[in-house]
Structure 1
Amino acid sequence: MINKLRAATSPAMIVAVIALVFATTGGAYAATRLIGGKDIRNGSIGLADLSGAARRALRGRQGPSGERGTTGPQGAAGPTGATGPAGPAGLAGVQAVDGASKRIPSGGADGAPTANCPAGKVVIGTGFNASIGWAGFVKAYGTFVGGFFLNDSSIDVDVSVQAICASTGGAVAASARPGRSAFERDVREAQAALRQRR
């Protein structure tokens, strides 16, 4: 048995054991050293595998901006859009018309002569002159303006009304007769109210 053991520990056997030890530990040694460029296959390491500093180093500095290019040709005109709805008719031929002046004696009350718009125009505004008298009302009645005045002063006063007239694109009253009736009714009501107050 001892002879067999001595035969097994021959110089050749010792060299074989040493070679076996180096063969089994060589991989572990290689794993502890740095991996160089020769050890990496192309495409085997991605950008995400590198550190932030390494990625910044690879990016480099931004180069200068290039010159602005020339403006390209203008494109073709687009199709014409649909026509929008017509707007409301505007005013035309605005003018002021003064009614005749009427003298109202001290303590009196009466309607003033109306201010009538020319044919084809309607009232768009009113005005009046009552001196030191009081205006009971001044109103537009389609194509004319009427008013009612009270003179509670100690002297006679002259009163009048004014109509601001204009054409409105066909929206003109055909007749002043309905407005005239309304004006006469308003004058009667103002006179009745005045009598009750006195």
Structure 2
Amino acid sequence: MVLTAPGWAQRTDRPHRSGFWAELGAGPGRVRIACSGCTDVIVASAPSSYFRIGGTVSDRVLIGVEVFSSLDRAFGFSRGDTTATAETATATVVILWFPSRRGFFFKGGVGLAAGQFTVPGTAAVDTSNGGGIGLTFGFGWDFAISRKFAVTTNLAAYVTAVGDVVLPGQRIDDVIATMYQGSVGFTFR
């Protein structure tokens, strides 16, 4: 006598990603900017997006490169000021770790960060750029739609230390922008 289990019970879990993969996503973000000597911490909402590409190290570990960007067109360095534009970005090497084969993962990474702040003046527009170290960490879930495609949700934080920002009439020292992002992405594998 031979007993067999139903097909769904016989299926072995497979990794959600294998080989080469790419992911593109976007979602709402919240940016928090602090600096040395600032009395207020600036918090604003801004759209954000990311692109990740990489390869598989093992069934549970992936390595890749992630580029993240957040753009706030109504930003201000003081309360009530919404005339500036702030754009922050990171380019990091990330590791995604899947503790099980069910789709849940943690991510962490380190790389480069950049910030650009544009303030309209009376005669012209002043732009200040800064660069430094970028860190990212978070978690997410891959929802496999097919063998080659998944919808991926992410909650992540991006810390960008962009250094000093020089604007008309003021110098802002040690600017650190922290972005929080909830996103939905599309993963191709």
In the superposition, the TM-score normalised over structure 1's length comes to 0.23
- Asked which structure has the greater CA Rg, the reply is 1
In the superposition, the TM-score normalised over structure 2's length comes to 0.23
**More strand, by proportion:** 2
**More helix, by proportion:** 1
